[in-house]
Amino acid sequence: MKHTIQMVLALCIGMALGHRATGQQNVKQVDTKITDVTVFQSGAQVSHGLSFNFKDGENLIKLTDLPIYLDPNSIQVEGTGALTILSVKHEINYQVDAKSNPRVKALMDSIADVQFKLAEIQAMSEVYAEEQNLLRDNTAIKGSNSNLLPEDLAEMADFYRARMKEIRFKQLELSDNHKDAQALLSRLQTQLNQLNARKGTNPSEILLTVIAEKAGNANLKVTYFTQSAGWYPVYDLRAADVNTPITFSYRAKVFQSTGNDWNDVNLTISTGNPNIGSQAPTLYPWYVNIYQPQPRPVAYGKATTNGIAETSAPVAAYSREDAKMEEPAIRYQQAQVVSNAVNMEFKIPTPYDIPSDNQQYDVVMQTETLKATYEYVTTPKLDNDAFLRAQITDWAQYALLPGESNVFFKGTFVGKGYIDPALANDTLSLSLGRDKGIAVKREQIKDYCKTGVLGGKQHTSKAYEMTITNNKKQSITVVLEDQIPISQNSEIEVNVEELSGGVLEESTGKVRWVLTINPGESVKKQIRFDAKYPKKTYVTGL
């Protein structure tokens, strides 16, 4: 008979059957394979598949080599088989030897090989140094032999020169080999340190206690949550021209350091974040009251001969801090965490390999063609370039997160941008980079810029002219932005004298023009304003 076992367990060490002396019973260690992984912005849900034979009666099944930062409360077990799960127990293995990890052992073996090679290089360097010293010590070859022929002397010189040259070349070669080996040793040691840090010296284990009426076979899936993983978004934006849609690629940079490689797993990317909690916030009463300070204590005492009162008993010092401590208790409104209610999951159709090395791996989640309208925007007060901007209206369905974007225009990488959906309303604006085919400049009009006194007030007048020239072969739409200063003092009055048809936003002082400019055409716009304030007063910002 086939039964389905579905258990969602939140169990800690020592729960049901914790009283059993598990050390005295036969524990069957089974091999598992990571089959499915759902990666959240912070953390991941990992599923292991396992198949095992069980006997009749009680069976103890152990899953080993699990992440040290596994959340015991998140363990779930489901599967098929004619058995009953009695308990699930999570524990840390404090007796495991780090060298038993195959990856650790392989790295340690490689480090030992490189260390031996370094010792060999050092030994050969010493041998060549000794030979070099020996040749130098025997340069006085004439010695007591006063009959040494010139031919013999030339032969000895040739030998000395050739051998010293050969030794020097060997020393240079050994030096290069030493540098390479030292760099390799450093890399291997770094990998070993990272692996030990991620893996932890004591991995997690899960002990399943199951009972069956008769022997059989079971297939189980064990799922848990671990913090040692995550992802962040990256966007690729490609536009062939200002008259074509945008190719929008939504990618995830996935990383993990659980200590277990994810090989050939079914990968799902989720925009959710389990770490922010699932409990809805509660509003508590918001109390207000009128503060009534306590009366200042009075010291009573007797007069002394010099007329100064002397207190008859010690009186505690009183300060504003004391008054604050005596204020009636006030219950303040608690901060509320608001999260996006739309969590989208991207099930990746192709199995993925994500090693446990904390490196970022690209996972393409979605590629779409989005309708866009294009315009140029320029703010010459800050930058004398025009920027191409795409306006997208149907962006909300993609559950975008804040992230960096790579921008390509006409097949060329033009720079990086940043997408923040929180700043978008119905329309998402995407910057596609600078366009040098549009010339922009901003100049101060000196004839209007002056400072003087009029009517008992000091006046400062400023004027600026913006010129935009379309050097492209087609008409363009340009959004030109500038600004008028905003007074933060009632004694400072700012009067606008000229906007050249621009629209002023009173709250921010921003002036905006939407211009259509034909090929080869130049358009000029001006802003002029006058600031009036008391005489002998210095005004900042003008």
Tens of pLDDT, residue by residue over 82-96, are: 888 888 998 887 665
The terminus-to-terminus CA distance of the chain in angstroms comes to 87
Nearest Cα to Cα of residue 251 among 418, 404, 357, 46? 404
Q: What is the mean predicted confidence (pLDDT) over 23-44?
A: 85
pLDDT at residue 100, rounded to an integer: 58
Give the three-class secondary structure for 441. Answer: strand
What fold characterizes domain 102-142+149-198?
Helix Hairpins (1.10.287)
Higher-confidence position of 15 and 198? 198
pLDDT at residue 132, rounded to an integer: 82
Q: What is the mean predicted confidence (pLDDT) over 260-268?
A: 93
| CB distance 505 to 426 below 8 Å | no
Q: What is the pLDDT of residues 113-167, one digit of tens each?
A: 999 999 999 988 888 888 888 877 766 555 555 565 677 677 777 787 888 888 8
pLDDT at residue 288, rounded to an integer: 62
Q: Return d(Cα 42, Cα 258) in angstroms, integer.
A: 13
pLDDT at residue 521, rounded to an integer: 96
Nearest Cα to Cα of residue 192 among 294, 111, 89? 111
Element (H, E) at 403: strand 403-409
Confidence class for position 263, pLDDT limits 50, 70, 90: very high
| CB distance 480 to 466 below 8 Å | yes
Q: Return d(Cα 349, Cα 362) in angstroms, integer.
A: 14
What fold characterizes domain 439-534?
Immunoglobulin-like (2.60.40)
Q: What is the mean predicted confidence (pLDDT) over 339-345?
A: 61
pLDDT at residue 164, rounded to an integer: 84
Higher-confidence position of 471 and 394? 471
Q: Return d(Cα 209, Cα 90) in angstroms, integer.
A: 12
Q: What is the pLDDT of residues 363-414, one digit of tens each?
A: 998 888 888 888 999 999 999 999 998 888 877 777 788 888 898 888 888 8
Confidence class for position 503, pLDDT limits 50, 70, 90: very high
pLDDT at residue 343, rounded to an integer: 75
Confidence class for position 429, pLDDT limits 50, 70, 90: confident
Q: Tokens 């080869």 appear where?
A: 520
161 exposed, middle or buried (CB, 10 Å; 0-12, 13-18, 19+)?
A: exposed
Give the Å distances, CA to CA, from 47 to 15, 51, 76, 361.
22, 13, 9, 20
Nearest Cα to Cα of residue 351 among 66, 42, 36, 40? 36
Mean pLDDT of the chain: 80
Q: What is the 3-state secondary structure (H, E, C) of 189-203?
A: HHHHHHHHHHHCCCC
> Over pLDDT 70: what percentage of the chain?
79
Confidence class for position 430, pLDDT limits 50, 70, 90: confident
Length of the chain equals: 542
List CB contacts of 69: < 8 A, sequence separation 6 or more: 200, 226, 227, 228, 258
Which neighbouring-strand residues pair with 451? 460
pLDDT at residue 255, rounded to an integer: 94
Residue 506 pLDDT > 60: yes
Q: What is the mean predicted confidence (pLDDT) over 503-507?
A: 93
Domain(s) of CATH 1.10.287: residues in the chain: 102-142+149-198
Confidence class for position 14, pLDDT limits 50, 70, 90: very low
Q: Return d(Cα 374, Cα 431) in angstroms, integer.
A: 10
Q: What is the CA radius of gyration of the chain?
A: 39
pLDDT at residue 300, rounded to an integer: 46
Residue 274 pLDDT > 70: yes
Q: What is the mean predicted confidence (pLDDT) over 418-427?
A: 78
pLDDT at residue 281, rounded to an integer: 74
Spell out the alpha helix ranges (H) of 200-238.
Answer: none
List CB contacts of 332: < 8 A, sequence separation 6 or more: 286
Domain(s) of CATH 2.60.40: residues in the chain: 4-100+200-229, 439-534
CATH number belonging to the domain at 4-100+200-229, selected among 3.30.420, 2.60.120, 2.60.40, 2.40.10: 2.60.40
Cα dihedral sign for 383, 389, 393, 394?
negative
Least confident span in 14-23, 186-195, 520-529: 14-23
Confidence class for position 298, pLDDT limits 50, 70, 90: low
Residue 338 pLDDT > 50: no
| CB distance 225 to 43 below 8 Å | yes
Residue 246 pLDDT > 60: yes
Give the Å distances, CA to CA, from 29 to 59, 61, 208.
11, 6, 10
Higher-confidence position of 402 and 510? 510
